[in-house]
Amino acid sequence: MIFDTHAHYDDEAFDEDRDQLLSGFPANGIQAVVNVSASVQTVKSTLELTRRYPFVYGAMGVHPNETGELNDQLMDWLKEMAGQPKVVAVGEIGLDYYWDEPEREIQKHWFVRQLDLAREVGLPVVIHSRDAAKDTLDIMKDQKAGDMGGVIHCFSYGVELAREYLAMGFYIGVGGVLTFKNARKLKEVVEYMPMERLVLETDCPYLAPVPFRGKRNSSLNLPYVVQAVSQIKGIPEDEVIRITNENARRLYRLPQTR
């Protein structure tokens, strides 16, 4: 069964049918989902989802574009939340120069602080990096992020950078973008990297695969990503599902299923 390593089911895009959608996952081949927070408010809503659905886990962290709201008191609170049951990672954290707000030094400061938090609580990290390749890698090397391990979510760089992160022991998150015609770089990365380091993700409600590009995404669309990985790697789809499930459980330090 499929393991979705990165989703946002607390997003308002799911307000009308959230329970109906999620309740149907086990019957539709979705075994587990990690709901990833991006702000102080979504830390709270992510925790609610982990309590409501037995197959939903949580990641606690503040997205780089939301770090302007952080302070020392909130970091203490975030540390407490990271210790809650079913929390499996600190994230999503990192740098985002596409939107470029708040200013880069603020993003960097809280990225380092949240890496420190992950080290303190003993959890892997979920890394968001957009248009910030060098600074993200430099900080992660300087902070020895490989000690915590984790995943580079929605990987958007080339083989050269993938090689760096794989050498640090990180997993690479692959989703609907792999099905896009213009995703040449990502297809090259998937072809290059070992299957043992690839995990599936949606980033839903965003980044729906072809043929649903531009529409609301959900874990139910992951078979299209599985098909794309299968074609690139030349292995059966059920093998892609099995291996990526095992990878996700190693990434988030969850028991393997039989």
What is the per-residue pLDDT across 74-133, written as a single tens digit (0 to 9) for each? Answer: 999 999 999 999 999 999 999 999 988 999 999 999 999 999 999 999 999 999 999 999
Long-range contacts of 132-140 (CB under 8 A, 24+ apart): 132/94, 132/95, 132/96, 132/97, 133/157, 133/161, 135/95, 135/97, 135/104, 135/108, 136/94, 136/95, 136/111, 137/161, 137/164, 137/165, 139/95, 139/108, 139/111, 139/112, 139/115, 140/115, 140/168
| H-helix or E-strand spanning residue 159 | helix 159-167
Q: In whole angstroms, give the CA distance from residue 185 to residue 255.
A: 33
Q: What is the mean pLDDT of residues 229-242?
A: 98
CATH of the domain at 133: 3.20.20.140
Do residues 47 and 81 make contact, with C-beta atoms less than 8 angstroms apart? yes
Whether pLDDT at 258 is above 80: no
Q: In whole angstroms, give the CA distance from residue 187 to residue 84.
A: 37
Is 222 a domain residue?
yes
Is 124 a domain residue?
yes
Is 257 a domain residue?
no
Do residues 10 and 39 make contact, with C-beta atoms less than 8 angstroms apart? no
Q: Which domain holds residue 163?
A: 2-251
- Summarize pLDDT for 141-168 with one digit per residue, the tens: 999 999 999 999 999 999 999 999 999 9
Q: What are 113's two structure tokens?
A: 């602080």
Q: In whole angstroms, give the CA distance from residue 184 to residue 115.
A: 31
Is 258 a domain residue?
no
Confidence (pLDDT) at 26: 97
Is 84 a domain residue?
yes
Helix axes of 222-233 and 184-192: crossing angle, nearest 10 degrees = 60
Quote the percentage of the chain above a pLDDT of 70. 100
Is 171 a domain residue?
yes
* Amino acid identity for residue 18 in this structure: R
Domain count, the chain: 1
Give the bridge partners for 56, in sequence order.
33
Is 147 a domain residue?
yes
Is 256 a domain residue?
no
